[in-house]
């Protein structure tokens, strides 16, 4: 299986035949943005950061795939340290692809990035991405550098001020070498972790989205990898069984931004900082709702050539049935970039 860097080095990528693709996940009605008004003072806020693709200055070769990626990482971290750009944050949740390189000492690269995170005034929770373990989900050898640097942050849970968080490692989805035993273990852990919170509200966080966040035949072509969504259906089946207390599913990996609603649950996909349009997200938990706002980095840090879904890679830009021009295909519509989920439907105190 080719790495993303190998794909991006190609002049063209073959289109995936639409006739071979499964039907797209339905985008359910139920965008609650206009129906929910935040009440009371925020309980807490956290920043979603992902797909930073950092390369340490000690790397022998700096790959130009995501030009100025390091500068965008440093801007975000400086903004967190300095205040004034983001509202006060309780923690940072990094949804994977912390670093970029596959062919260097990944322990060094991951350690360099961890040192940056440890310089923040708030804690960071991490999710393993396919670049962080060389698409080696379930492989002790390939997982070893990440494990040695970040510990057992693969499939785990944490809780913050009454809201549960369930992290699922799906970094190897679509990989022909993904062991069936690992798929079964992944499903067992997600079910166990969701059950551990009873009926209390939880957020699920994973690197690869569980559903297709664009019209599927188009997304499969513009992303160019088998991992345009989690290909193994078991996790989504478990999520459906627990949708009564799942607030949202957060993801990255695709290098585009948007939100789709499936059976009342928003699947919130953030582009991340390495690739254009360069988004992070601020999640605010109010007494009655979760509010998510996408935040685009400043204009002097934007590098359109890092867009992996458009003309720089394919010679043309793309749209789909729900996004009539390429900017919204990349960034999502306004209703996808400001999302409010009522917690009352989950039995949380209003």
β-strand partners of 91: 46
Does residue 244 sit in helix, strand or coil? Answer: coil
pLDDT at 125: 98
Yes or no: say if 275 and 255 are a contact pair by the CB < 8 Å rule: yes
Find the length of the chain: 350
DSSP states along 25-54: PP--S--GGGT----SS-SEEEEEE----B
DSSP states along 289-340: EEEEEEEEPPGGG--GGG-TTSHHHHSS---BTTBSSHHHHHH--HHHHEEE
Q: What is the mean pLDDT of residues 18-28?
A: 32
Percent of the chain's residues with pLDDT above 70: 86
Q: Which residue has the tokens 């009873």?
A: 198
Provide the mean pLDDT of the chain: 88
pLDDT at 1: 38
Q: What is the mean pLDDT of residues 185-214?
A: 97
Yes or no: say if 32 and 342 are a contact pair by the CB < 8 Å rule: yes
Residue 197 has pLDDT above 80, yes or no: yes
Class of domain 4-11+25-343: alpha beta
Kindly indicate the confidence band of residue 3, based on its pLDDT and cuts at 50, 70 and 90. Answer: very low
Query: How does pLDDT run across 201-240, given as a tens digit for each residue?
Result: 999 999 999 999 999 999 999 999 999 999 999 999 999 9
Yes or no: say if 63 and 131 are a contact pair by the CB < 8 Å rule: no
Pairing assessment for the beta strands 202-206 and 163-168 based on DSSP bridges: parallel
Q: What is the mean pLDDT of residues 328-335?
A: 97
Does residue 199 sit in helix, strand or coil? Answer: coil
Query: How does pLDDT run across 38-75, given as a tens digit for each residue?
Result: 999 999 999 999 999 999 887 666 678 899 999 999 99
pLDDT at 345: 58
Query: How does pLDDT run across 111-163, given as a tens digit for each residue?
Result: 999 999 999 999 999 999 999 999 999 999 999 999 999 999 999 999 999 99
Kindly indicate the confidence band of residue 32, based on its pLDDT and cuts at 50, 70 and 90. Answer: low
Q: What is the mean pLDDT of residues 261-287?
A: 97
Query: How does pLDDT run across 282-315, given as a tens digit for each residue?
Result: 999 999 999 999 999 999 999 999 999 999 999 9
pLDDT at 106: 87
């Amino acid at each position: 299986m080719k790495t993303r860097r190998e794909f991006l080095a190609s002049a063209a990528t073959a289109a995936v035949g639409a006739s071979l693709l499964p039907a797209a996940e339905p985008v359910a009605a139920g965008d609650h943005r206009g129906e929910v008004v935040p009440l009371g003072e925020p309980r807490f806020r956290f920043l979603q950061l992902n797909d930073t693709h950092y390369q340490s200055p000690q790397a022998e070769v700096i790959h130009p795939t995501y030009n100025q990626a390091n500068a965008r990482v440093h801007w975000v971290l400086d903004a967190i340290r300095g205040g004034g750009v983001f509202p006060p944050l309780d923690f940072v949740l990094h949804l994977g692809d912390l670093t970029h390189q596959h062919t260097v000492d990944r322990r060094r690269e991951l350690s360099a990035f961890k040192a940056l995170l440890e310089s923040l005034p708030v804690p960071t929770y991490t999710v393993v991405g396919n670049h962080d373990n060389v698409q080696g989900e379930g492989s002790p050898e390939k997982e070893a550098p990440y494990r040695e640097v970040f510990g057992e942050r693969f499939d785990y849970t944490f809780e913050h001020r009454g809201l549960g968080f369930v992290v699922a490692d799906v970094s190897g989805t679509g990989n022909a070498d993904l062991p069936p035993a690992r798929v079964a273990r992944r499903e067992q852990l997600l079910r166990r972790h969701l059950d551990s919170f009873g009926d209390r509200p939880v957020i699920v966080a994973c690197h690869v989205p569980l559903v297709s966040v664009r019209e599927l035949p188009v997304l499969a072509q513009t992303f160019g990898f088998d991992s345009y969504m989690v290909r193994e259906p078991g996790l989504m089946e478990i999520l459906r069984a627990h949708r009564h207390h799942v607030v949202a599913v957060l993801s990255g990996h695709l290098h585009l931004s948007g939100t789709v609603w499936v059976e009342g649950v928003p699947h919130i996909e953030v582009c991340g900082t390495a690739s254009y349009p360069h988004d992070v997200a601020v999640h605010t938990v109010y007494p009655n709702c979760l509010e998510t706002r996408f935040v685009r980095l400043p204009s002097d840090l934007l590098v359109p050539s890092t867009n992996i879904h458009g003309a720089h890679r394919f010679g043309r830009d793309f749209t789909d049935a729900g996004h009539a021009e390429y900017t919204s295909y990349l960034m999502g519509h306004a209703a996808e970039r400001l999302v409010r989920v009522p917690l009352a439907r989950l039995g949380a105190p209003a």
